[in-house]
């Protein structure tokens, strides 16, 4: 037995089990993959289609995760605290970033955005998964964030095609997500609800 | 608590909370708001029968409340630590801390 386990870690463990299913990875991976395909085939006006997998995250979780994992409601105070932390970090990040950008733009008197536009975009896009990973403790989102940043830095200097980068990144997320989903399905077989209610 | 010590002066330990499986169940219920039976079973690693029997004891002691509610239009039986249960858990913690406070290394 790990003697160092405490209440915070138990709460964190309970929270993290909901992300063991890989559904978030699969849906976000599909988002990037579809966006990559649409951009590559010149179908940019249909880009909204790529958000369908993201909209489906909760319904999929409802049909796959909850019947296997059970249902939990976390304390509202903790939830509020988390939301406040997320908002604070995002706001602070955006303010600092904009201030930095303004400062650099003033210093360079001009074409900073033209030169480093993709890096700026990469920082903006990779920030949410990084902040999310810091707050929730899902370490693989830090890796996704770093991959995204590397992709955009690579894009900035090589001027390769963004759609291909999106497709590669989406595929990586999708494969990792599928791996987690299989592991989850194996670990938690489906349970019939009527067999599992606590009735005296 | 009416009697905080046994007749020999030893601190009175709440046996309902003290049992390892029930302590684990109460710990999980303490850190969350409420959960269904399956979630608790997954988290504690207890079997259905075992968990059910411990839940009965906790319910009889008034430490757990059972709420039937609709979440996303699905009826769910949610298990929640009652006020009495939360207090018992805190009291248990304080008793154990007090007991080992001056223990030499």
Per-residue pLDDT of chain A (200 residues; tens, 9 = 90+): 444 567 777 877 888 888 889 999 999 999 999 988 998 888 878 888 888 998 999 999 988 998 888 888 887 766 556 666 776 676 677 667 666 666 665 556 556 666 777 887 788 778 878 877 877 778 888 999 898 888 888 888 887 677 888 888 899 999 999 999 999 999 888 876 545 566 55
Contacts of B71 in chain A (CB under 8 A): 71, 73
Domains in chain B: how many in total?
A: 1
Q: For residue B14, what is the enclosing H or E element?
A: none
Contact B33 A13 (CB under 8 A): no
The whole-number pLDDT of residue A8 equals 76
Is residue A103 situated within a structural domain?
A: yes
Shortest CA gap B39–chain A (Å):
4
What letter does residue B43 receive in the DSSP assignment? Answer: H
Query: Does the beta carbon of B69 lie under 8 angstroms from any beta carbon of chain A?
Result: no
Is residue B82 situated within a structural domain?
A: yes
pTM above 0.90, yes or no: no
Report ipTM for this prediction.
0.79
Is residue B74 situated within a structural domain?
A: yes
Is residue B45 situated within a structural domain?
A: yes
Is residue A74 situated within a structural domain?
A: yes
Contact A14 B43 (CB under 8 A): yes
The whole-number pLDDT of residue B1 equals 47
The whole-number pLDDT of residue A176 equals 94
Contacts of B34 in chain A (CB under 8 A): 72-73
Q: What three-state secondary structure class fits B32?
A: strand
Is residue B9 situated within a structural domain?
A: no
The whole-number pLDDT of residue B61 equals 94
Q: Which domain holds residue A186?
A: 11-192
Contact A73 B42 (CB under 8 A): no
Contact B37 A197 (CB under 8 A): yes
Domains in chain A: how many in total?
A: 1
CATH number at residue B29: 1.10.10.10
If we measure between CA atoms, which residue out of A15, A28, A14 comes closest to residue A144? A28
Residues in chain A: 200
Q: Which domain holds residue B75?
A: 15-96
- Residues with pLDDT less than 70, chain B: 1-7
């Amino acid at each position: 037995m790990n003697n160092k386990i405490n209440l915070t870690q138990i709460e964190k463990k309970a929270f993290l089990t909901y992300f063991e299913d890989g559904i978030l990875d699969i849906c976000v991976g599909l988002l990037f993959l579809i966006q990559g395909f649409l951009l590559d085939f010149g179908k940019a006006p249909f880009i909204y289609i790529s958000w369908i997998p993201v909209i489906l995250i909760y319904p999929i979780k409802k049909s796959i995760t909850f019947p296997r994992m059970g249902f939990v409601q976390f304390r509202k105070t903790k939830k509020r605290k988390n939301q406040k932390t997320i908002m604070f970090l995002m706001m602070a990040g955006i303010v600092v970033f904009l201030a930095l950008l303004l400062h650099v733009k003033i210093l360079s008197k001009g074409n900073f955005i033209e030169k480093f536009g993709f890096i700026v975009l990469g920082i903006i896009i990779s920030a949410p998964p990084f902040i999310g990973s810091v707050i929730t403790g899902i370490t693989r989102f830090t890796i996704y964030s770093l991959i995204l940043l590397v992709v955009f830095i690579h894009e900035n200097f090589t001027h390769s095609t963004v759609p291909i980068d999106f497709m590669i990144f989406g595929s990586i997320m999708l494969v990792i997500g599928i791996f987690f989903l299989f592991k989850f399905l194996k670990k938690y077989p489906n349970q019939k609800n009527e067999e599992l209610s606590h009735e005296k | 608590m009416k009697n905080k010590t046994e007749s020999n002066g030893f601190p009175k330990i709440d046996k309902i909370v003290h049992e390892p499986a029930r302590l684990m169940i109460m710990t999980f219920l303490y850190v969350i708001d409420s959960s269904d039976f399956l979630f608790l079973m997954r988290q504690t690693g207890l079997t259905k029968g075992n968990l059910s029997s411990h839940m009965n004891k906790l319910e009889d002691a008034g430490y757990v409340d059972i709420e039937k509610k609709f979440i996303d239009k699905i009826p769910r039986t949610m298990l929640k630590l009652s006020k009495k249960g939360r207090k018992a858990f805190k009291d248990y913690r304080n008793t154990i801390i007090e007991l080992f406070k001056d223990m030499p290394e």
